[in-house]
Amino acid sequence: TEPSSPNVRTEIPGPKSRQLLKELDRIQNTGAVQFFADYDKSYGNYLVDVDDNCLLDLYTQIASIPIGYNHQSLIDAVKNEDNLSTFVNRPALGCYPPRDWITRLQTSLLAVAPPGLSEVQTMACGACSVEHAQKAMFIAFQRRKRGGAPPTQQELQSCKTNELPGTPNLSVLSFKNAFHGRTMGALALTHTKPMHKLDLPQPKWPIATFPMLKYPLEDNVRENQAEEKRCLEEVEDLIETWKKKSEPIVGIVIEPIQGEGGDNFASPQFFQGLQDICIKNDICFNLDEVQTGCGVTGLFWAHEHFNLKQPPDIVTFSKKMLTGGFFYRSEYRPQEAFRIFNTWIGDPSKVVLLEAVIKVIKRDNLLNRVSEIGNYLWPEVEKIQEKYPDLISRVRGLGITGAVDFPSPDERNKAISKLLSKGVNTGACGESSLRLRPTLTLQKQHVDIFLDRLNSVCQEMS
């Protein structure tokens, strides 16, 4: 069973973690390692490290643990003899799919498909999900352009050596502070920290401004509306400019809530406006829900909060979904074989685990619980903000996902490390934000521990 509270015995990283760090450093760069974890001892919302520190984990492997450590349903799925061959024999899914693959898709991904979308392509991580979704956009754009005609011989030949016309000049629009992954096509859309980007050649595609809302929202309604309007106009301008310079924008990729870039929210009206622009220009509207999907906002997909007039064209996912992939409107289905393809195209053993996760989400009514817990959590954090207005600002959250800002990166880092020493693991994002990314099984008692520790930290820091 889950511990009732955190228990910190050493500084973190403790002596055992530090010893292991030294050993790992002979094998690779360890600059990002926080501590070594004992996953056998971890349970529920608590992560235990090798020095026996027991931490309330509100960051959960960079937002990728859906229902807590060592959940019984996941253990059962791995132990179930019927699933054994799925863990042992990883197939080339595009060529030799398993007997039960369609049933698996139906009870997992299709059971939670965004409203209006019924096609799905599995992938293995966030980056390949974004990259192959991008390929689907390019392919659909060129197909529309050809208007039914087959590609020319010249196109077929020239593409093999990355030349025009088979390798066309096309672009994808992304947003400042966006994060979509680390491979070249995904990294081209990513605009967060220099250490993610420096020294790496990338296509120089258009980048629009993501609205930077002022908080509290209710006191800044007019300003925020103006900010979003300005951002939408910029998008329209960029579409025109890039059409003229013959590197047309084939689609817009955007996170419903910018995660890595600082937990930046925009209004449903903003996303409705973006979709309208895509429809008007006949380009793809791609929502990247790698970090916002799987129920963290209280609805299964964050974009369900937006009241869009039609489904987004593409919705990418990974992290808590355990498998990567993307849902898409059928016009984004490639018509030919082997276009969206690789050796594995995902991993059925991850879909087995997702199936178990989705059963638990439904059985335990976790989406409602996430909404309720969010409704309790964020107003309480606002109370702390009121107490320490020089330390905490821009409290924002939806369901269990959200963040607060500190006056500087240093103070943010100090707060994270103080929280850790008090037994609560949180994460950084943006310039100086502290973000929460707990599991869907977060409960009031966990929130109360966090609030208590955050209060102490603020007291110590002010």
Residues serving a catalytic function are: 179, 288, 319, 343
Q: Closest by alpha carbon to 432, among 454, 453, 413?
A: 413
Choose, by CB under 8 A, the member of 344, 413, 417, 455 that binds its own copies. Answer: 344
Residue with tokens 């622009």: 277
Quick check: 188 binds its own copies (CB under 8 A)? yes
Residue 147 interacts with, from its own copies, ligand FES, none (CB under 5-8 Å by kind)? none
Quick check: 329 binds its own copies (CB under 8 A)? no
- Shortest Å distance, C-beta 91 to ligand FES: 15
Residues between 127 and 156 that touch ligand FES (CB under 6 A): 127-128
- Shortest Å distance, C-beta 139 to its own copies: 5
Distance, in Å, from the CA atom of 352 to the CA atom of 78, rounded to the nearest integer, reads 8
Distance, in Å, from the CA atom of 43 to the CA atom of 448, rounded to the nearest integer, reads 19
Extended strands (E) in 318-445:
324-328, 393-398, 401-405, 424-425, 427-429, 433-436
Return the number of the residue (349 or 425) whose C-beta is nearest ligand FES: 349
Residue with tokens 């392509």: 121
Binding piece for its own copies, criterion CB under 8 A, among 126-134, 295-303, 370-378, 404-412: 126-134
Beginning with the edge strand found earlier in the chain, give each strand of the sheet holding 427-429 in spatial order: 393-398, 401-405, 433-436, 427-429
Residue 197 interacts with, from its own copies, ligand FES, none (CB under 5-8 Å by kind)? its own copies
The region that residue 319 occupies, defined by phi over 0 for left and psi between -120 and 50 for alpha, beta otherwise, is left
Which phi and psi (to 5°) does residue 222 adopt?
A: -65, -45
What is the identity of the amino acid at 455? N
- Shortest Å distance, C-beta 253 to ligand FES: 16
- DSSP at 180: -
Quick check: 125 binds ligand FES (CB under 6 A)? yes
Which residues neighbour 438 within 8 Å (Cβ) at sequence distance 6 or greater?
45, 57, 58, 59, 60, 400, 446
Residues between 147 and 166 that touch its own copies (CB under 8 A): 151, 155-157, 159-163, 166
Binding piece for ligand FES, criterion CB under 6 A, among 119-127, 225-233, 260-268, 441-449: 119-127
Angle, vertex CA 287, rays to CA 425 and CA 224, nearest 5: 80
Helix (H) or strand (E) holding 446: helix 444-461
Cβ neighbours of 438 (radius 10 Å) = 28
Return the number of the residue (320 or 422) whose C-beta is nearest its own copies: 320
Residue 27 interacts with, from its own copies, ligand FES, none (CB under 5-8 Å by kind)? its own copies
Residues contacting its own copies: total by CB under 8 A: 126
CB 318, CB 294: distance < 8 Å: no
Distance between start and end Cα atoms, the chain: 37
Residue with tokens 């817990």: 373
Distance, in Å, from the CA atom of 133 to the CA atom of 301, rounded to the nearest integer, reads 17
Choose, by CB under 8 A, the member of 104, 180, 305, 319 that binds its own copies. Answer: 319
- Shortest Å distance, C-beta 183 to ligand FES: 6
- Shortest Å distance, C-beta 137 to its own copies: 10
Residue 327 interacts with, from ligand FES, its own copies, none (CB under 5-8 Å by kind)? none
Residues between 235 and 274 that touch its own copies (CB under 8 A): none
- Shortest Å distance, C-beta 53 to its own copies: 12
Residues between 55 and 94 that touch its own copies (CB under 8 A): 61-65, 69-71, 74-75, 78-79, 84-92, 94
Choose, by CB under 8 A, the member of 107, 220, 272, 341 that binds its own copies. Answer: 341
Return the number of the residue (182 or 414) whose C-beta is nearest ligand FES: 182
Q: Closest by alpha carbon to 165, among 239, 246, 251?
A: 246
Give how far Cα 280 sits from Cα of 71, 131, 173, 273, Å: 46, 24, 15, 10
Residues between 17 and 46 that touch its own copies (CB under 8 A): 20, 23-24, 26-40, 42
CB 441, CB 435: distance < 8 Å: no
Which phi and psi (to 5°) does residue 187 adopt?
A: -65, -30
Quick check: 253 binds ligand FES (CB under 6 A)? no
Binding piece for ligand FES, criterion CB under 6 A, among 90-98, 124-132, 145-153, 204-212: 124-132
- Shortest Å distance, C-beta 11 to its own copies: 16
Q: Are strands 314-317 and 264-265 parallel, antiparallel or unpaired?
A: unpaired
Residues between 164 and 223 that touch ligand FES (CB under 6 A): 183
Residue 28 interacts with, from its own copies, ligand FES, none (CB under 5-8 Å by kind)? its own copies
- Shortest Å distance, C-beta 26 to its own copies: 8
Return the number of the residue (320 or 422) whose C-beta is nearest ligand FES: 320
List of residues contacting ligand FES (CB under 6 A): 124-125, 127-128, 183
